[in-house]
Structure formats: structure tokens, C-alpha cells
Amino acid sequence: MKGGGYYMCGRFSLTVPIEEIIKLFVLANGDELDYVISYNIAPSQNVFSIISDGEKNRGGYLQWGLVPSWADNPSIGYKMINAQAETIDEKASFKNLLKRRRCIIVADGFYEWQKNQNGNKKPFRITRKDNRLLAFAGLWDRWEKEGTILHTCTIITTKPNEIMKDIHDRMPVILPEEAQKIWLDRTVQDSTYLKQLLTLYPAENMTAYEVSLLVNSPKNNQVECIQSLA
């Protein structure tokens, strides 16, 4: 997949030390994690995610591209890297997961491609102004068939805020800290209430800058991907 712009949220980065993630999300299994940074995370790759085991938060990797437990073929995951917040409680693939299988996908920035008048696309990286971590709202599921087991996820998207609207018409749902605990709380199963958490992240807390065309290919995974062209 090249360019990333076909998707609503199709590429991001996670380059911070694992200690920062463990501290922020109070992970119970921090000593067990096999963590690898990445400057250019793409669909079908494993993404660092957080779920609750009912008592404590646990970190680990899920494959990006949701394969519902009832799916006949895991290839459906390539079409399900994102879920729209507006209809998440209506779609068969997502509505039950909203109640019982929610996760946070951790990032420190995400990429989106802006079309110009000539039809060309320029990649931008979007981060928090304070460079703190982003907590994408996500859903996950477990698929098993003929001895193969997959744990997969999707990132929930919403309409763009003021920072994003001139770049792309969608953006990932970024959960503020007060909403993160609720999102991971397995005892909360009210879909209407949960959907209310999927709000726009404040544009005044974000920044966007143009980056190299290197990010167009997921084969490129180096620090130059996140560096500003300015």
C-alpha cells in the first residue's frame, strides 16, 4: 500500500521508550514486553495496543486490520483498518466489540496525505504540541480457524478538527486521559455512553508539518520519516 491517503487513518509512528508507555498507561506486564519502535507503521503490521484484563492494564501487539471472529477469511482485515465513530454502534462487525472488546492503540504521531490542485499528495505528520503520546480509540477481536489464531484491531476515526480539515476529511479518535480509563473499563457496556467518548481532539493541542515522501512506502522505516521538511 502506497500513499496512505486511501484510508481514513492508514499510517502512524511510535518511537518513544517503552518506559514512557508503561508509566503513562500503568501497565501491569511492562517487564514482559518485547517492544520495537517504528517510524512508519502500516496496515497488516502489529501495533502496540492496550487492553484491560478486568483488573489491570496490559500492553501487547495486535495485528492492524480487524478480522471479526465470525469471518470466513482473514483477508477481510485489509478492508477493516478503520471504523467510523458515527456508525460504530450500528455495523455488525463493530457493535458487539464496542461493548466488550475495546482497546487503545498507542502512537506518538500519525501521517495523512493532502491533495493539491494538481492531484499530487503531500504527506504530513500530526502530533500533539507537547509531544506526548496519542491514545487512539480502537476495537479488537480474536479469530480462530483450523489451528490459526489471530488477534486483530481497528482504529476508530471521526470528522477532522481545524488542524486536520485542510489535510484530510477524517482523523483518528484520540482519547483524552479522562476518557482512556472509561474506554478500557470492561464493566462499561452502554453503547450510547461509550459513543459519546468518541469526540474531536482539540485542534489547539495539535500540530502538523510536512514530511518526506519516504513515508509513502511502508518499506521505509527510519528516523527521516518523522522529520520536518521545513
By annotation, the residues acting in catalysis are 9, 112
In order, the DSSP letters of 46-74 are EEEEEEE-SSSEEEEEEEES---TT-S-G
Distance in angstroms (rounded) separating the CA atoms of residues 182 and 161: 23
Strands 82-84 and 148-158: parallel
CA nearest 63: which of 182, 185, 148? 148
Backbone angles phi, psi at 147, to 5 degrees: 85, -5
- Note every long-range contact of 14-19, with CB atoms under 8 Å and residues 24 or more positions apart, other chains counting: 14/38, 14/41, 14/47, 14/48, 14/106, 14/107, 14/108, 15/39, 15/108, 15/223, 15/226, 16/108, 16/133
Contacts of 117 (CB under 8 A, 6+ apart): none
